[in-house]
Chain A
Amino acid sequence: MAPNVDDRLSWLAMQYVLGELSDADRDQFEIRLADDLAACEAVAQASRLQLALQAAIASSVAVQIRAPLDRLRQESGVIPGLPQSRSATGCTVIAEEIESSAIQPVDCVDIKTRSQRSWQAVGAAVVAVACLFMVMIFGWRDGADSDRSRVASHSDQAALELVSRWRTEMKFTDVDSDDLDDDVHDNAADMAIPAWLLAGVSLEKHGVVDSQLEDLQDN
């Protein structure tokens, strides 16, 4: 279906507003503008449409950038009322830094092709997964360390109890280095063989009767 006159004029006016006409076509159209009110109105309409489209595209671009960053902030999760791990706080800081650098003035935003937008989405998903992974790792390590410290303290306590009990049973005393010589002599005294043992050995050797041994034991 061929475009009607209005559509052709509107298209020509939009090309003129966008600066897409050749120099000759532009001059010709401007001569027409001097005598054609409909052409002037078409130019005015095309100009307003272009400005409105620019504003609409700019606002839709801003929405597309903000949505994945909001999801990332939610997943890295600062939950009010609960103690925050450093990794979760770090992910939140990272998300805010990405947002502050990504939410640029709209004139700096570049519209990507569909494939590039999909790669952007993949990149955002990878960043979200990495932050979750960090939360899991740091959370696991924090938990393991606390468990190990609890086991260590329990083991130490048990060991001390065993040592103290053993000392009590064996009646060991702490040895002071200054008293080593005295202790040696004392030990030597303690290690001396009792006379009755020696006597018992010698009597047995010389055939002493058992009754005499009993007498000695009574003494």
Chain B
Amino acid sequence: MTLATDDTRFANLAMTASDAADSDGMNPEDPNSGSLDSGARLSPDKVDQLYAEYGTEVQAFLVGVLRDRTAAQDVCQMTFGRVLEAGHTARDETIKGWIFKVALREALVYRRQTARHDRHLKQYSRDGTWVQEAEEDDLVRNEDVARLRQLLNQLPPDQQHVVRQRIYDGKTFAEIAAELNVPLGTVLTRMRLALEKVRKWFGKG
């Protein structure tokens, strides 16, 4: 896919996110314009409260979109900067959805600007650097890691193997299927069943 095609695709997606944000009962003015009266803005304490409530989840969301912890932190800061500027235009009952929309838009713009580094980001995750960075912030807690280790050992061996190969070794499902000489659907099923069990066990704890 050429860069021009990427630019078009990213622009369309960013426009879609922006349209969705604008249609959420907010002020028709562009929240990013920064032309609103400063007195109408949310207070810093209010923004801090919103960050304490949603910041970790927003950052995890951005990690999933960008697959880059550092970029996710940067975009998260930009997102809450927008919240400070234009958060007052959203209704309280939909502020969370509004924040996520802004986060998605910022992430897509960021990805558009760094499109040529996507391949490097995938290699970055294969090297296991995410494991090292997981210890540095509050997206992963130590007690969760210990509990997950026990849960993984309770999985059937074939599901354990697929989870380890995909999550830790960074192999694609197609590569795992080729190594095991099984259909791709079998590998996907094993992974899906394993994740369902882990999510259920984890949710009970």
A: number of interface residues (CB 8 Å): 47
CB of A23 within 8 A of chain B?
A: yes
Q: Which of B9, B97, B139, B145 contacts A56 (CB 8 A)?
A: B145
Residues in B with CB closer than 8 Å to A23 are 1
The CA-CA distance from A13 to B199 in the complex, in Å, is 13
Inter-subunit contact B60/A56 (CB<8 Å)? no
For B152-164 the 0/1 string (1 means CB < 8 A from A) is 1100010001011
Q: Are B140 and A48 in contact (CB-based, < 8 A)?
A: yes
Q: Please judge, given known A-B contacts A19-B122, A58-B168, whether A51 and B13 are in contact too, CB under 8 Å.
A: no
Chain A nearest CB from B82 CB (Å) reads: 15
CB neighbours (8 Å) of B132 from chain A are 106-107
Interface size on B, residues (CB 8 A): 58
Contact yes or no, B195 A47, CB < 8 A: no
Contact in complex: B198, A107 (CB < 8 Å):
no
Contact present for B145 and A55 (CB under 8 Å): yes
B15 CB → nearest A CB, Å: 10
Q: Kindly provide the distance from the CB of A170 to the nearest chain B CB, expressed in whole angstroms.
A: 88
Q: Is B173 an interface residue (CB 8 A)?
A: yes
Q: Are B60 and A52 in touch, CB under 8 angstroms? A: no
Contact B195 A11 (CB under 8 A): yes
Q: B67 interface residue, CB < 8 Å from A? A: yes
Distance in angstroms between the alpha carbons of A47 and B67 in the assembled complex: 9
**How many angstroms from the CA of A48 to the CA of B149 in the assembled complex?**
15
A113 proximal to B (CB < 8 A) = yes
Contacts of B152 in A (CB 8 A): 53, 56-57, 60
- State A50–B20 Cα separation when bound (angstroms): 28
Most buried by A among B96, B130, B146: B130
Give CA–CA (A26, B107) in the complex, Å: 14
Residue B64 interfacial (CB < 8 Å): yes
Find the residue from A18, A20, A40 having the highest chain B CB count within 10 A: A40
- Check A51–B139 contact: CB distance below 8 A: yes
B115 within 8 A of A: no
List A contacts of B128 (CB < 8 A).
Answer: 54, 58, 106-108
- Counted as pairs of residues, one from A and one from B, with CB atoms less than 8 Å apart, the total is 145
Residue B17 is within 8 A (CB to CB) of chain A in the complex: yes
A20 to B168, CA, bound (A): 15
| Contact present for A20 and B173 (CB under 8 Å) | yes
Contact of B20 among A35, A45, A49, A59 (CB under 8 A): A35
Interface hits, A9-50 → B, CB 8 Å: 10-11, 13-14, 16-20, 23, 27, 30-31, 33-35, 37, 40-41, 43-50
Cβ of B186 under 8 Å from chain A? no
Enumerate chain B residues within 8 angstroms of A30, measured Cβ to Cβ. Answer: 13, 65, 104, 108
Contact A52 B169 (CB under 8 A): no
Q: Which residues of chain A in 47-93 are interfacial with respect to chain B, using CB atoms and an 8 Å cutoff? A: 47-61
Contact, CB under 8 Å: B169 / A111: yes
Given the complex, which residues of A lie within 8 Å of B63, measured CB to CB?
A: 47, 51
Task: Tell me if B58 is interfacial: C-beta within 8 Å of chain A.
Answer: yes
- A7 in the interface, Cβ–Cβ < 8 Å? yes
- Can you list 16 contacts pairing A with B, beta carbon distance less than 8 Å? A10-B195, A16-B64, A35-B101, A40-B104, A41-B57, A43-B60, A52-B144, A54-B167, A55-B134, A55-B140, A57-B149, A58-B168, A60-B153, A108-B128, A111-B165, A114-B157
List residues of chain A with CB under 8 Å of any chain B CB: 3, 7, 10-11, 13-14, 16-20, 23, 27, 30-31, 33-35, 37, 40-41, 43-61, 106-108, 110-111, 113-114
Please name the 6 residue pairs, one residue from A and one from B, whose CB atoms are nearest each other, closest first. A107-B128, A47-B64, A56-B148, A44-B61, A44-B60, A34-B17
